[in-house]
Structure 1
Amino acid sequence: MPSSHISPVFVGRSVELTALGEALSRADAGEPGALFVGGEAGVGKTRLVQEFLGRADAGGAVVALGGCVETGADALPYHPVSTALRSLRRRLGAELDAAVAGQEGELARLLPELGEMDRGQSETDSRARLFELTVRLLERLAAHRTLVLVLEDLHWADRSTRELLSYLLRALTDSRLLIVTTYRSDDLHRRHPLRPALAEYERLRTVTRIELPAFDRTEVRLQLAAIHGEDPTEQVLGRVFDRSEGNAFFVEELASSIQGGSPSGISDSLRDLLLVRAEALPHDVQRVVRIAAQGGSEVEFRLLATVTGLADDELIETLRTAVGAAVLQPSDEGESFRFRHALMREAVAGDLLPGERSRLSRRYAEALEDDPTLVRSGERAGRLAGYWFDARDPARALPAMIAAAAVARGRHAFAEQHQLLERALELWDDTPEELRHQAMRQGVDDGLWPAISPDTPGDFVDLLAAITLAARLAGERERALAISKRALRQLEGDPTISAFPIPRVVGSAQVGDLPLGGGDAIRAAWFWIERCQLMRDLCRSDGWDEISHAQKLVRGLPPSVVHAHVLTHLAHWYINHQPGPLAIETAQQAVELCRLTGAEVTGLAARHILAWLTIHAGDVETGLEQAREVCARNLEPGNAQILLRGYGNLSTALHGIGRYAEAVEVAEEGSGLADRHGLPDIASFIDGNLAESLTELGRWDDADDVLERAGDRRGVSARTQGQLAGQAAELALARGAYDVARRWLEGPDTWATGSYPEPQNTLPMARVAIALAAADGRILDVRSRLESAVGEGVAPGHHRYGWPLLYEAAAAEARARGLAVAEVGREAAVERIREAMKGMPEFVPLWSAQALMIQAELLTAEGEDATARWTEAVAATAQLEAPVLPATARLRLAEALITQGGTEARDAAGELLRQADAAARELGAEPLASEITKLAGRARIQLQPTDAEPAPPPVAALGLTTREREVLRLVAAGRSNRRIAEELFISPKTASVHVSNILAKLGASGRGEAAAIAHRLRVFDE
């Protein structure tokens, strides 16, 4: 029976109801969508949704309702989805069973009533399939009817639920499904995980976000009138409105107080306000309410009966009173009860004494252990762990936490698994040793610990290994690093955890033996490799010290999986720092060792490394085929991370040799797979490569979208964020957004210019810095940055980054010809570029074309005729996929032809400029388009072709009069206006007018740039 202080009339919310109704109509028409309803606690979200669901149900829609829980959320992954599916199963029965036929074992992760979970697949593989099967199930159920899926209190959602929801929002395309969620906006603090998720959801076309405001004074009046049956007095209205601030729940609470005859007996404290109704209940009902509060957001009737010790009939009557007072409310199926408002449960639970809370938790735990059927099987482990933890009984809580962590891992809920293991760590020291051994052995049986040693489990160290791995999978790298340090202190007895100073050449790692046995040495090596990955992701190491330490640990021991793992990481280090014959030899050894030890997954990584090295050694097709063979492998248990990162490696290899369209195809496939497998860092890494190739293809808007998507993912490492920043800088540079490019360049200093930079990062960013310096006319900065980047030449294996870098430097020298500041040191600068080119391979068409362009720019910088070389470059770039390079080469050839003079050369230059201009404007390449326009203007060439275009005489090729050419000659010689006037026998004012006209005709910003243009175009024979 509804309480008298709850309004029987639905008040306001017409705009929100209209939005919900429109979304439902679209779903009826086969267009799925989602609405996120936010608002502060008590503002009326639940009442709005209930009103809407009543209308949807009356219209023939099927409604499935699930709510998130605020306590133990880390132990109950997918709880709201499981609850919603359970309600669907009750309503649809055989139809739902038919829809899941054949997939019961996998969908049992969400709905345990379907049977035993299938544990035969890896975490990443099964997780992706679980998400896909959920989509298919909902699509089948919503194929011929409208289905409304409601998830309440999303602010309490576990991470796995949020990730499943993200997948649903993107994957549902053609069904009659409407998803409605609610969340507390006032609970979303700055670091709340739902904040970035909501921002991500809002960008989807199918998602609408509604923020529910508080009631205004008129709406509060209507609410009070409906509650009391008459209009309130202005005094009552004013008091209630001021104190409630329009919060619908607070209005109800205050209305109840007024109706009870004690309008001034409620304190200003929210806790006191929320406790009023509970404290007004009879003593025996209050007792049950307090017990229910400690049981969690929702407590099953049978469990509550066991803990309270009441007979069923007595408990029913007690609950009836609590429900009638709007303190508790039954679930849809009537088998469990929850507080009408979560804030009330928090207040009641918080009012318990510490000893009272622990005793009640113990009773819950003991009841659940005595009869596991008191709660649903999918929640049992997590609930039991939470109860024992709150009971402050480490001996019972530790095994329960480890068991719950195993369940969470089985459901691919890595964040929840990590939190449970952290709690186990808290309990470790207070748990008897024998119980710790038993719990750890059970963890091994449940597959919770990584297989890092052939010996018996190392107890505490293996717990640390599990936490390290879970934290890394959950994106908590700092915590994973801290735990790995603790483990190494335990194993090696070294409080500093400092690696040995080993020279960075294989074969010279000569250090003293470590006092570790075989099993401990292998465990320590495993932790050092984990530390290597974490330190690189956090940009705190290049990985050498960690790898070399691990090498020493496994040296002299029988070959093992960990040994193969170490050698593979060594080969990977060589790719980034010392590619060459030694790297290839190491990669080959790693592949063979993986084969011998049965390290199949690590072997895939080793084969990818070998393929990359093969490509850059010149055997391109063989290397590409090797890489494709690895990527073509089926996703099997444990290999998803390696295979998906391989997609990224293959895409960037294709990009490096100029096969951009193929690179885009590979990257798009890899990014989608990584997203579906819940690997955000790999997905964003691949997206960075995808954006790079899209940029080269001229698909700049698409590249923007990809970079935005990649940057919005949670759990992305600092290294990958730096990669994305680099791509954003490249894109801004191409568009001429120099300020934006500078901001990106200055931001990620920890990854590109920090203590442990890698050539694959430093060379691209040096190119951007050189291009920005050249755009500002800072030729000396160009030279210093080039020297810093290639002081000893371009690193072997990184020529794909070296060619564009050297071109920017060569082009800057050519543009600066004629500037006085550039003359000193020009010869050395040009020679420096030529030296860097020596030995760089040109076996790829892209690289040979870039080499021709560099040679042509250097000839221009030296004042030599570069027409022939630019002609070769135009022919070479015409065969490439990237549109910017052909347009640039045509511009430079046109410039050389104009310098030559003559009608035929000028006509050819006009055609080249028109082609280049069309490409630049289509791309939106403002710097390139501006340069083309300026050159065309100086040469009096129409960029839009005309039927008859008379050629001006050579003396007017730049549009200058004879007097202006004389003035320009003196400007180029560094004369002031007064000196020019004296030499030409004109007034200084006239000289100033001539200079102004010259600058305007040449499109020059100053006297120095005008002089540079004159020298570059050979305006003066001498």
Structure 2
Amino acid sequence: MAEPLEAIGPDFVGRAKELGAIGAFLDRAAAGAAGALVVYGDAGVGKTALVQRACNSGGSEAWIFAGACLPLASMTVPFLALRSAFRGAPRIDGVAHPSLRTSGGAPHDVPVMIDRWLEELCLIRPVVLVIDDLQWADQSTLDVLMYLIAGPADRRLAVVATMRRGEVGEGHPLQRWLADIRRLPRILWIMLGPLDRLDTESQLTNLLGTPPHRSLVHEIFTHTAGNAYLNDLLVAGLQPDTRHLPAQLPSDLKAAILRSWRGLTPATRELTQIMAVGGRPIRAQDLAAVAPDAAMPGGVLAMLREAADTGTVDVSPAGTYWFHHPLIAEALEQGLSTDERQRWHAAFAAHYEHQLAGELTPDFESMVAVADHHHHAGHTDDAYRWALRAAASAGAVGGVTEMLRLLRRAVELRGSLPAADENRQDLWSRLRIAAEKTGSHEEELEAVEALLAGIDVATGPLDASELLVRRTHLLFSTGRAFMATKDMREAVRLAATEPTSWQYALALAELAHAGLWHKDPDAQSHADHALAVARAAGNPRALSYALSANAMAAVFAGRTGEALDFATEALAAAVQARDYWAFVHAALWQGNAQETWTSELYANLLRAGRQKLAELGAPHGYIAKLAADEAGSYLAIGRWRECQQALRIALGSDPGTMGDVGARLTAARLASWQGRHPEAQAHLARAEELYAQKSEFLNLDFDAIRAEVYVAAGNPEVAYDAAMTGATSAGTPPTMCEWLVPLAARALADRIQLARDAGKPTAVLMALVDRLVQRFPAAIPDFSGRTEVYERQITAFNLLYAAEVGRARLSAGNGLEWGRAADACQTASLLWEAAYACWRAAESLLLRGHTQRGPAAAYLRLGVALAGDLQAGPIQALLIELAGRARIPITEPVGGTPQAARQELPGLTTREREILAYVIAGRTYGEIARGLVISEKTVSSHISNLLRKTGAANRLDLSRLATRRPADS
């Protein structure tokens, strides 16, 4: 076991690729291929933590010696990092420990002495030498490292160093050393970049103890650009429910980011503060024009070069200068007084406005800069005028995000400018369009509400109708309301003044959409009428919604072939209209028309839809919605790695409310199954906070996932209430409705078991079981088409339900019930539930006595294999603990020879006998398929034949028949 470095903090996240590369490097060194590794990157990016994690997680028996260089200013301590590294080195008999005296100098042959000592250690165990912050290393240390790196290639030695990229400029003593080792063989370089948005959120979750608000993640990631150390400083002292950062940066953060800046000359510090007010990269001549009095005799260019040499600023290939990290600019600007900031903003505004005055085609970025500087200088009239001008320019070059920001400002400033020419409705309309293009649903909803408040319905009924439809979409997307029919009826009434208009078709389509969710008997006729009007009007937007409404109606009616045609045409129309809400809607119904959402086919369809949205350049919120749904589908069938990948895409940028809620619900479910219960409950709580309504959102699975999370966490009372809330909700059954009744029964069975264990009465709880079965004789089926996959799944849910009821009632044949449920769940690709059912089957069978040990062992082994693949730690631990108590070995190698049948069953083919042996050994379908080099579908077909030929009820019964002794016959 490697001797661990100092433990790293709980905020280490991600870095799988880099950890893999370092791990492989250490493994090669441990095997006798010496080498050196340099990990470099910005200060605070996580270099030290990465190396610590890689060394601590290594599987070798290496000695790890770690030391750090220090930024000493007035003195030099030779071999400082090496003294620290070797301080705790072992004393080996017959091996001379190197002498690095702190006084009287050190022997001149120190590199040779250390090399010889490490050579002898490497013969005993591998050695890893870690030197942190190489940019501060003294020359003596560098000489030793050079000697070691250039040493023999066949010893078990790894030299690892970390280095700050921004502090090794031209003329730095380390530059020549780096140039020399680059010419040596066996050198690995890893440039460590910042964390991405998802890893930043994971780090913040660790630091805060709960998933942070989306708004806080966005603000922190914008400020720190993913720097792990700055994330830590910025979040220090914040409450877990904080939504926004405070106006002022924390003092510790300012001290950290301004360390290099404080070493500049006073004149350069003053100049860079002025540059910070500029807010964007700038040429030296422009900065000199803005601040002519700030230049020292050497000129602005010399000062900027000084700042660049310390890593405070970077110079671009185009010759512009800007700060190495955006937080430096923010901290410097905050260091100025309000009057100073306004004075310099006014100077920048005047400079850029003067530059633009003579241009026939004004530069877009300069126009934005003028608008911003006038605003920050307090020039209301000029800020308003330039905001509108820059917004128009932004729209022309595709800068919709900037256009939205500037129009937002113009709307705010318009209230204090009564003499402005622009109409308020026109400004709100422009803002709405910009918000729609960027996918900013909150901003768009505000604009739509303002437009509805100011519209004259008598003169603009079609516009009002379209706004009502869009408001319904936005209320849905932001979690405020679920497809209310009242507004849709009003939209239809308004648009009916022109019954051939596309607005009338759109309103009818969405009335049908809402009506289908609420079981309106007129929904089909509304959908038919909408489609006829939309086709006649020739509007692709209205056509897409009308086609989707008809696809939805056809799915509800079981006409899946017709539904698929409608949905496929709806997708094409949505692409033509560039309506991404319509695209998402059509993509989901295209999936529903072909297969249940708990299937690989459905997940793959959503993946294809998500990729198409990315090709179209859709806002990320729509991509995130499909990615979150894709993740949920993969998770349901046990493909948790694909689930994680889809979640990473969904949360890789701001997912919007829709995508965020869907992703958090799926993340809660995954965390719950894998045993991370606090994380699961935190994700669930954040999802519930984001959506004003929970159970009312029928296309989301709040109740089922809440029940699943709480029953797994040992709170069956809350789980039962959640399951029953979903099961008894009015209207169309919600997503995951099939889970609700089995989960309610599981929660009751858990409560009854707890009561029995405590010696308490169970009559009241048993009465609840009876009422549950009376009210729900079977699991609640979904409204979608009954495909072969879905039929297998609803069968599995019914068997789970019966087994949970049997567990509550202590049924004599409960072990057989659980066995049937386990087999059905595996056949239906409900692998999480299959692993759970295997545990319950084995538990019940072992309680029945010794004669059931064979079948129980089969389910134990099957369950452990399933749980291992799923990384379902809690279920796997329960299975292993049960096997240990029963003294049943479960460690048969997967690739080993399966157990043979004790009794030859008549009428079986050679292949069926081979598969039977695997069944007896408790192998999963996947293991059987891999062992025999056939498909899982073929395995399923053979097992069906085995059950038919033997008359066995399930795999458990089949295993019992095959393994019984002749005397048992």
Normalised by the length of structure 1, the TM-score is 0.53
Counterpart in the other structure of 2:126: none
* Mapping 1:598-617, distance limit 5 Å: 598-617=538-557
CA distance in 2, matches of 1:621, 1:409: 42
Question: Which of the numbers 795, 798, 811 marks the counterpart of 1:848?
Answer: 795
- Report the counterpart of residue 518 of structure 1 in structure 2: 459
Report Cα offsets for 1:702-731 as digits up to 9, x if no partner: 4345435533522521x4322222212221
Distance 1:697 1:523 in 2: 45
Partner AA of 1:742 in structure 2: Q
Q: Distance in 2 between matches of 1:34 and 1:634?
A: 47
What is residue 694 of structure 1 aligned with on the other side?
634
- Counterpart contact for 1:461–1:487, Cα < 8 Å: yes
Specify which of 524, 535, 538 is matched with residue 478 of structure 2: 538
Deviations for 1:420-473, whole angstroms, at most 9, x for unmatched residues? 11233245467687x736xxxxxxxxxxxxxxxxxxxxx421210221342455
Matched, 1:683 2:623: yes
Counterpart pick for 2:526 among 579, 582, 586: 586
Q: Give the drift of 1:578.
A: 1.6
Does the Cα contact within 8 Å between 1:368 and 1:384 map onto a contact in 2? Answer: no
1:830 is matched with 773
**Could you tell me which of 421, 424, 442 is aligned with 1:436?**
421
Residue 470 in structure 1 maps to residue 413 in structure 2? no
Q: Check if 1:663 corresponds to 2:613.
A: no
Q: Does 1:759 align with 2:698?
A: yes
Partner of 1:573: 514
- Deviations 1:247-288 (CA, angstroms, capped at 9, x unpaired): 44443324x7xxxxxxxxxxxxxxxx955999xxxxxxxxxx
- The equivalences for 1:864-883 within 5 A come to 865=813, 876-883=824-831
How many Å separate the matches in 1 of 2:800 and 2:544?
A: 39
1:848 Cα offset (Å): 3.3
Q: Is the 8 A contact 2:509 2:545 kept in 1?
A: yes
> Is it true that 1:550 corresponds to 2:486 in the alignment?
no
Q: Does the C-alpha gap of structure 1 residues 771 and 824 become closer, same or farther in structure 2, counting only changes over 3 Å? A: farther
Q: Which of 698, 723, 726 is the aligned partner of 2:665? A: 726
Q: Tell me which residue corresponds to 1:234.
A: none
State the AA in 2 paired with 1:412. Answer: G
Instruction: Check whether the contact 1:518–1:557 (CA below 8 A) recurs between aligned residues.
Output: no
1:338 positional shift: 9.7
| Partner residue in 1 for 2:66 | none
Q: Which has the higher contact order (CA 8 A, sep 6+)?
A: 1
CA offset digits 1:600-625 (Å, max 9, x no partner): 13432443343344334323344345
In the other structure, the counterpart of 1:422 is 408
**In the alignment, is the contact (CA less than 8 A) between 2:737 and 2:781 conserved in 1?**
no
Q: Is the 8 A contact 2:512 2:526 kept in 1?
A: yes
For residues 394 and 197 of structure 1, what CA distance do their matches in structure 2 show? 27
Q: Which residue of 2 aligns with 1:261?
A: none
Q: What amino acid is the match of 1:805?
A: L
User: What is the alpha-carbon distance in structure 1 between the residues aligned to residue 272 and residue 846 of structure 2?
Assistant: 90
Residue 196 of structure 1 pairs with residue 221 of structure 2: yes
Pairing 1:962-977 to 2, within 5 Å after superposition:
none
Determine the C-alpha separation between the residues in 2 that align with 1:937 and 1:327.
70
Letter in 2 for 1:789: G
Instruction: Tell me, in whole angstroms, the C-alpha distance in 2 between the residues paired with 1:702 and 1:584.
Output: 37
Deviations 1:381-417 (A, max 9, x none): 4356557768988777656533421332344333211
For the 8 Å contact 2:43–2:166, the answer to whether it is kept is: no
Show the counterpart of 1:442: none
Q: How does 1:978-993 map to 2 (within 5 A)?
A: none
Whole-angstrom CA distance in 1 between matches of 2:396 and 2:338: 33
Contact 2:842 2:857 in 1 (8 A): yes
> How far is the alpha carbon of 1:688 from its aligned partner?
1.8
**Residues 653/637 of structure 1: CA separation in 2 closer, same or farther (3 Å cut):** closer
| d(CA) in 2 for partners of 1:302, 1:726 | 51
Q: Distance in 2 between matches of 1:738 and 1:274?
A: 50
Question: 1:372 aligns to what SS in structure 2?
Answer: coil
Q: 1:943 to 1:198 in 2, by over 3 A?
A: farther
Residues 358 and 690 (structure 1 numbering): CA distance in 2 closer, same or farther, change over 3 Å?
Answer: closer
**Once the 2 structures are TM-superposed, how far is the Cα of residue 919 of structure 1 from its aligned partner?**
2.0
- Report whether the alignment pairs 1:405 with 2:352: no
AA aligned to 1:806 is V
Q: Distance in 2 between matches of 1:918 and 1:426?
A: 61
Which residue is equivalent to 2:861? 914
What's the counterpart of residue 808 of structure 1?
743
The DSSP-based 3-state class of the residue aligned with 1:540 is coil
- How far apart are the structure 1 equivalents of 2:222 and 2:323? 27
Match of 1:796 among 732, 744, 748: 732
C-alpha separation between the residues in 2 aligned to 1:909 and 1:334? 72
The offset of 1:419, in angstroms, is 1.8
Structure 2 alignment gaps of length 5 or more: 1-17, 26-38, 46-134, 136-163, 180-190, 199-214, 234-254, 309-314, 893-897, 904-969
Q: Return the alpha-carbon distance in structure 2 between the equivalents of residues 355 and 532 of structure 1.
A: 46
Partner of residue 981, structure 1: none
- Would the alpha carbon gap of residues 250 and 596 (structure 1) be closer, same or farther in structure 2, given more than 3 Å must change? same
Compute the displacement of 1:911 (Å).
Answer: 3.2
Tell me the equivalent position of 2:357. 369
Counterparts in 2 of 1:893 and 1:367: CA distance versus 1, 3 Å: closer
Cα 1:352/1:210, change in 2 over 3 Å: closer
The residue number in structure 2 matching 1:620 is 560
Check conservation: 1:297, 1:345, Cα contact below 8 A: no
Q: What displacement does 1:686 show?
A: 1.9
Please tell me whether the aligned partners of residues 345 and 374 of structure 2 are also in contact (alpha carbons under 8 angstroms).
Answer: no
Measured in 1, the distance between the counterparts of 2:358 and 2:818 equals 86
Q: Is the 8 A contact 1:468 1:483 kept in 2?
A: yes
Map residues 984-1003 of structure 1 onto 2, 5 A cutoff: none
Rounded Cα–Cα distance in structure 2 between residues aligned with 1:884 and 1:332: 53
1:776 and 2:714 equivalent?
yes
Q: Which residue of 1 aligns with 2:501?
A: 560
Distance 1:404 1:859 in 2: 70
The CA deviation string for residues 604-653 of structure 1, in whole angstroms up to 9 with x for no partner, is 24433433443343233443454345446795562455335644555577
8 A Cα contact 2:544 2:569, kept in partner: no
Query: C-alpha separation between the residues in 1 aligned to 2:859 and 2:815?
Result: 13
Local SS of the residue matching 1:564: helix
**Hey, what's the Cα distance between the residues in 1 that align with 2:799 and 2:642?**
30
Tell whether the 8 Å contact from 1:852 to 1:873 is kept in structure 2 after alignment.
yes
Amino acid in the other structure paired with 2:477:
D
Q: Is the 8 A contact 1:688 1:710 kept in 2?
A: yes
Counterpart contact for 1:298–1:338, Cα < 8 Å: yes
Cα distance change on mapping 1:866 and 1:740 into 2, 3 Å: same
User: In structure 1, what is the Cα distance between the partners aligned to 2:286 and 2:704?
Assistant: 68
> Which structure 1 residue ranges, 5 or more long, are not aligned?
1-18, 27-32, 60-148, 155-161, 168-189, 213-242, 257-272, 279-288, 309-314, 438-458, 493-515, 952-1022
Distance 1:351 1:50 in 2: 38
Kindly tell me: are residues 524 and 322 of structure 1, through their superposed partners in 2, closer, same or farther at Cα, counting changes over 3 Å? farther
CA distance in 1 between partners of 2:600 and 2:607 (Å): 11
SS, match of residue 760 in structure 1: coil
State the Cα distance separating 1:476 from its structure 2 match.
4.9
SS at match of 1:828: helix
Q: Deviations over 1:913-939 (max 9, x none)?
A: 433332233323344445545665677
Q: Distance in 2 between matches of 1:253 and 1:561?
A: 67
Amino acid at match of 1:562: Q
| More divergent stretch after superposition (744-753 vs 533-542) | 744-753
Cα pair 1:722 1:752 within 8 Å, conserved: yes
- Determine if the alignment matches structure 1 residue 252 to structure 2 residue 264: yes
